[in-house]
Each structure stands twice: as C-alpha cells, then as structure tokens.
A and B are shown apart, each in its own frame.
Chain A
Amino acid sequence: MSALQLCLIVSSLLFCVGLIGALARSNTILVLLGIELMLNAANLNFIAFWRYGPHPAAGTGMMFVLFSIAVAAAEAAVGLALIIAVHRHRQSVRLQEANSLKG
C-alpha cells in the first residue's frame, strides 16, 4: 500500500465520519459540522493527489483547496445565519421540527 493510498483511505474515513454526523444527529448545527467535515475530507483528497501526482509544480491542487476553503467558510456563515433565523421563529433547532411545508 503506497502512501498515496493511505492518504486517500484517511480522507475516505473522514468523509464517512462526517456522513455519520450529518445523518444520525437531529441537531441542525451538528449536521452543518458534519457537512464541513465532508468538505475538509475532499480537500484532503486534493492535497494528496497534488503531492503524489504528476505535476505538483503547477499548484492546481493547492489552488482548488484555497478556493474550496473560502467557499466552505462562506457556506458555513450563511448556514449558521439560517439556523439562527429558524430558531427565532420556531424556538427549536431540531431538524424534524422544520416541517411546516410538509404535506
């Protein structure tokens, strides 16, 4: 097993840990943290392939990860603002309670 495969396995396991958090918990903030973990696992993947890939000098992997970090931070900020707004109306942050459009 090469070092590249080890890095990819680590990032896959991290992705699955984030997936467990996003699926099993009913607190919206924890679901958002799980999604952030999944984004970070994808970034790990990019850096692993940049490190062991054919053209590390081109810096493509690093560029992608930089933009991914920026977009993930923006998404976390907007998501948490939404959670605060929903809490103000419903006094609850459980996912199951946000079902007024259900029908």
Chain B
Amino acid sequence: MIIALIIIALLILGAASAAMLSRNLIHSALLLVGAWAGIAAFYLWAGAEFVAFAQGLVYVGAVSMVVLFAVLLTRQGATRAPVEYDSIKRAVFAFIVAGGVAGILIGAIMGSPLEGRLPSPTPSVSVLQLGLLLMGPYAPALLIVGVLLTVALLGAIVIAAVDKPEDAP
C-alpha cells in the first residue's frame, strides 16, 4: 500500500513541478492535468471513490478545457516564444520563500504525535450515505454552492463577452 502511495506521490509532484517550471504554456496546462489525474488516483488509493471521480470529471474534464480556451483566446500559444522568467531575483526569492514554508510545514508534521491510531482498513462511504448527507445536514451548503456556481457562470460570461464591436480582437 505504501509503495502505491509513493509512486502516486512521485507522479503528482513530478507533473506539478514540471508544469510550474515549464516554458511552454500549453505544456504547463497539460502537465497540470496529469497532476490532477494523479490526485484523483490518490483519492482512489485512500478509498474516496466518489470524490476521485468528481475530481476527474471536474478538473480533468472541465477546468482543463477552460484553461486551454483561455490560453488560446489570449494568444499565448500562437507564437513559439517561451514564457520567460521575469527576473532571476524573483525566482530565487520565490524558491527561498517556498522552501521556508515547506520547512515549517514538514517540521510541524514530523513533530506532531500523529501515530496514535492504528491504520484502519480502507473506509468506504457508500454513495447512498453521501446522498443522504447531502440532502440532510449539508443541504443548505448544497443550495448555496448551486447558487454560487450559477452566479459564477453568469459572471464569467458577462466579463468575458464582447461588449462593443471594437472590443473584438
């Protein structure tokens, strides 16, 4: 089990690092899709099947399309000019800050007593239970998220739509 976790973790981190450091924006977006698929694999390993399929459907199937369309509509991919680093100073500072954050987090994790409970057999919450939860205690949250998604959809359309003829590229 741990070997599977290590392989999945290496896949996720490798794809994410390659995506963040790549100079070609389309390659970045597609490598990030690979990272999202790896995260879905992690959810499957942990036994959260419904969340894994939801992650695949939403991120790999939909958000990736939005990102790629945005890249194409802002002419980022049209030329072969790579997307460059702004300055070396900024990159170095970013690495130092990220390294600091990583150090603090990993230090906190290793220092906490997180081994109290024996590793359990993989838990499984059936879809029926999830449905009952969503329609019961979490129903207000579900309704609010529905309204939020509708508002976001309308807002995105309004913001990105062409207002005046001279706005069209």
Contacts and interface: CB of A to CB of B under 8 A. Distances in A.
B123 A63 contact: no
Q: For the complex, would chain A's binding face be called helix, strand, loop or mixed by DSSP majority? A: helix
Interface in B23-55: 25, 28-29, 32, 35-36, 39, 42-43, 46-48, 50-51, 54-55
Contact of B115 (A2, A14, A70, A93): A2
Contacts, number: 232
Nearest to B14: A17
Interface string B131-160: 001100010010001001100110111011
Nearest to A70: B145
Closest CB pairs A-B (n = 3): A56-B123, A21-B20, A24-B94
30 contacts: A5-B109, A6-B9, A7-B46, A9-B109, A12-B102, A13-B13, A13-B102, A15-B101, A15-B105, A21-B19, A25-B86, A26-B85, A29-B70, A33-B20, A37-B16, A37-B35, A47-B46, A50-B48, A51-B47, A51-B48, A51-B123, A52-B117, A57-B125, A62-B125, A75-B152, A76-B67, A81-B155, A83-B74, A93-B74, A94-B86
